[in-house]
Structure 1
Amino acid sequence: MKVVTHEDFKQVYTHEPAAAPGRIEAILGAIRDEAVFEDAYPAGAEDIAAIHSKSHIQSVTHQGLYNIACLAAGGAIQTALTGLKEPCFGLIRPPGHHASADSYWGFCYFNNMAVALDHLKRNGHIKTAYVLDFDMHYGDGTVNILKPKGYVAIHNPESHDRKEYLSDVSRHLESAAADIIAVSAGFDNHVQDWGGVLLTEDYQAMGRMVHDTAKRLQVGCFGLLEGGYNHQVLGENVRAFLRGLSGS
């Protein structure tokens, strides 16, 4: 599977869990033999401005985070464009699903998913999209930005029972109808991470559900990295998801 990433994502750009040293390396080590890597390039200023306010962009810039956040957003666009033709994963950071049009929190600065889907929509690649956000935290920024636009269905599953969680994901995907299936892939709900709910095999199962849904609809699919903070299990969780997303 193609994986969009960049050496700069290894940078420790802030003192927060999403930017912790070794996090990207833990994933690279687990998927190196199963991925075809493609270098990310920064999003264009017009792509960021289409989603975020001028004051928001200035705030990110003043913190010295514009370049890395813009690179993540650009990687998300690349991932989405590749996802139109084949499953693809964006191994990017900072994450994005807590960034709204004019505010941000939760280690997020630009909303990578919103930037990517908006790029596809504005350039005529899609009319509708479906987002599965299985990060343990509700993707409020993605909902705030995309839900009012009316062309994106968004599902944030919530359950403390893994079987109910997977059943909920399956049920919603069975009723999905869109031109692309996108995943905000946070791995912090793993039993050995903050959430303590899901097993490694569950990420493969959800990846396969997404793959099967895309196949049923004859559309593309892709995923973007969000959370996941236990480096001891993060790599194998991402690998499991990629295997499922590719149809394994």
Structure 2
Amino acid sequence: MKRHRIPVFTHDLFRESYTRDPAAAPGRLECIRDAIADVSEFHEALPASWEDIQRVHTPRHIQDVIREGLDPVASLAAGATVMAAVEGLQGPSFALVRPPGHHASADSSWGFCYYNNVAIALEHLKHHGHIRTAYVLDFDLHYGDGTVNILAERGYAAILNPQTEDRKEYLRQVEKDLAEAQATIIAVSAGFDAHQQDWGGVLLTEDYAALGFMTHAACERLGIGCFAALEGGYNHAVLGKNVRAFLLGLLGREEPFLSRA
């Protein structure tokens, strides 16, 4: 489906600073919302069901999150990602959420994560018969160990975590892997902390447009949809424009950003 605006699933609760970590910093969601408003259709998220969360996480881990008082916002982040995944069957969509999720394994979590949003969303699609296979692109600066721990043994998801400090090699690696991907949905763990003005110091803003466009091209080739969920990204001065560039790429509008030579 050709879209001019991208459905974005989010909630006002994500604006609250639920902890003191960088993912929960004041203003982080606002800088993104402001930057993407002209290319987005915002939809209010609902919490994930217990059934969806329990397909991925153990009762002990869920109880730990509840005891910390973080279940309301973590369940809402997972629910927004489930809604984006269902919408993503028809065309690109985005879950503008926090807490992030890709460091959450079935029975533990770290790195500002509590529930694994992308894994919960993919398991929802698989359980309801919407997909047979999935491809996960995780371009956050940090390796998405939780997603790998949860999905690798389930056998239906291929996962790419690019691990290089060479910008051109990074983009080549993603482009090659996506060109060979075979799946019935593409999910993106969209972390923006590898940017040259963020923690990683590797990618440029136009590179996020390129990553979005590569995902768009793979979906076009396979005749499938895609969805993305926010992971990292902590420099508020550049975060909004990086997310906007990525979403424009997902919509097939990457060209003005290109400078990869």
The residue type paired with residue 29 of structure 2 is I
- The equivalences for 1:4-23 within 5 A come to 4-23=9-28
Query: Secondary structure of 2:38's match?
Result: coil
Aligned position for 2:73: 68
Q: Distance in 2 between matches of 1:70 and 1:147?
A: 23
Q: Deviations over 1:151-202 (max 9, x none)?
A: 0000000111100000000010011000001100000000000000000000
Q: Deviations over 1:102-121 (max 9, x none)?
A: 00000000000100000000
The residue type paired with residue 170 of structure 1 is E
TM-score, normalised with respect to structure 1:
1.00
The residue type paired with residue 205 of structure 2 is T
What is the aligned counterpart of 1:192 among 193, 197, 201? 197
How many angstroms does 1:86 deviate by? 1.1
How many angstroms does 1:67 deviate by? 0.5
Q: Does residue 207 of structure 2 align to residue 216 of structure 1?
A: no
The residue type paired with residue 59 of structure 1 is D
Aligned position for 1:26: 31
Q: Distance in 2 between matches of 1:38 and 1:29?
A: 15
Q: Does residue 52 of structure 2 align to residue 47 of structure 1?
A: yes
How many angstroms does 1:34 deviate by? 1.3
How many angstroms does 1:33 deviate by? 1.4
Aligned position for 1:112: 117
What is the aligned counterpart of 1:97 among 93, 96, 102? 102
How many angstroms does 1:35 deviate by? 0.5
The residue type paired with residue 108 of structure 1 is C
Q: Does residue 230 of structure 2 align to residue 225 of structure 1?
A: yes
Query: Secondary structure of 1:130's match?
Result: strand
Quick check: 140-149 or 29-38, which moved more? 29-38
Query: Secondary structure of 2:113's match?
Result: coil
Aligned position for 2:7: 2
The residue type paired with residue 188 of structure 1 is D
Q: Deviations over 1:204-235 (max 9, x none)?
A: 00000000000100000111000000000000
Q: Does residue 160 of structure 2 align to residue 155 of structure 1?
A: yes
Query: Secondary structure of 1:38's match?
Result: strand
Q: Does residue 42 of structure 2 align to residue 37 of structure 1?
A: yes
The residue type paired with residue 44 of structure 1 is S
Q: Distance in 2 between matches of 1:232 and 1:192?
A: 9
How many angstroms does 1:140 deviate by? 0.1
Aligned position for 2:88: 83
Q: Deviations over 1:85-137 (max 9, x none)?
A: 01101101100000000000000000001000000000000010000000000
What is the aligned counterpart of 2:138 among 129, 133, 141? 133
Q: Identity rate of aligned residues, in percent?
A: 62
**How many residues are matched?**
248
> Where does the alignment leave 5 or more consecutive residues of structure 2 unmatched?
1-5, 254-261
The residue type paired with residue 243 of structure 2 is V
